[in-house]
Amino acid sequence: MPETPRAKRPNRYERIIEKVFFAHFAAGLTEVGFDREEFGGACRELKIPLPKNLGDVIYSFRYRIALPKAIQETAPTGKSWVIKAAGRGRYTFVAVPPLQIQPNESLVETKVPDATPGIISMYALTDEQALLAKIRYNRLIDIFTGVTCYSLQSHLRTTVPGIGQVETDEVYVGVDKRGAQYVFPVEAKAARETLGSLQVDQDLALCAARFPHLICRPIGAQFTASGLIALFEFEASNGEIRIASERHYRLTPPEQLSLEELKAYAQRPE
């Protein structure tokens, strides 16, 4: 008779975040505040070692992995918990409508002549770095937005009032034919990762604080499993993050872009 599979044991980060969440949670709440310094007391009660990097516990659940099931199950119907910064060392679990930011597999692709220098393709160290480099060398932000853009800074890290420290993968600034100026914060993800509305919220707050006179248009970028580059533009609508547009680009050797395809692209609506 086959053995019954064992339930996955919560890891140390999951046990810590659960302990802190349920120390403050009560039925009906849609916001649950906590302080990062509470992790020390939680570890003592759980009799587990305190992580050396407390910030990594928060970062993991904000950007890399899902919150434990025990926490997720307490969210109001139609909402899910996210962790938002609320000041230096202070955070809040907030119940928000879920937003699935995943490439639409049925969306048509657009071929773009690949202008990535060969040496860049050879030595890019991570999927995220490779994605950002390909976007930069092929001017995909310009193509996607219709605005002439320039990379201002990669991995911009700064402090935003009321939130604390935030980081954006890359920031572009641009100007259109009218002379209007824009700022484009870009979040990049590998094919196995997931873009989150929390990151977009953070980018909007960063632009409001640091670039208040520019038009902010947050961008998400992701490799797809088939090698396409999916680009998303987001906007805030009624206090919620929504996808304003999505396009898929395939970087292609110029000789593989046919005249028939170019004619077809010319007939597409903008």
For residue range 39-57, list pLDDT tens digits in order: 999 999 999 999 888 888 9
Structural domains in the chain (count): 2
Q: Tokens representing 118?
A: 């060969």
- Give the pair of three-digit tokens for residue 38: 């509470």
Let me know if residue 102 belongs to a domain: no
Any domain includes 3: no
* φ and ψ of 142, to 5 deg: -60, -50
Do 48 and 167 belong together in one domain?
no
CA distance 81 to 70: 11
Q: Which of 69-73, 115-119, 163-167, 240-244 has the lowest mean pLDDT?
A: 163-167
Residue 101 within a domain: no
| 125 and 166 together in one domain | yes
Does residue 175 sit in the same domain as residue 235? yes
- Rounded to whole angstroms, the Cα distance separating 211 from 181 reads 10
Residues 140 and 192 sit within 8 Å (Cβ to Cβ): no
Verify that 53 and 113 share a domain, yes or no: no
Tell me if 5 is assigned to some domain.
no
Between the CA of residue 16 and those of 13, 69, 97, 202, 259, what are the distances in Å? 5, 14, 25, 24, 58
Q: Residue 1: pLDDT above 50?
A: no
Residues 212 and 187 placed together within one structural domain of the fold: yes
CA distance 27 to 232: 36
DSSP letter (8 states) at residue 68 = P
- Contact status, residue 183 vs residue 173, Cβ threshold 8 Å: yes
Summarised one tens digit per residue, pLDDT across range 203-212 is: 998 999 999 9
**75 plus 172 within the same structural domain:** no
Mean pLDDT of all residues in 2-11: 51
Residue 61 lies in a domain: yes
Residues 177-221: tens digit of each pLDDT = 999 999 999 999 887 777 778 788 889 989 999 999 999 999 999
Residue 4 in any domain: the answer is no
Strand 90-96 and strand 80-85: pairing?
Answer: antiparallel
Torsion angle (degrees, nearest 10) of CA 189, 190, 192, 198? -10
Q: Which domain holds residue 174?
A: 109-266
Count other C-beta atoms under 10 Å from residue 228's C-beta. Answer: 20
- Does 67 reside within a domain? yes
Q: Pick from 54, 75, 96: which residue ends a domain?
A: 96
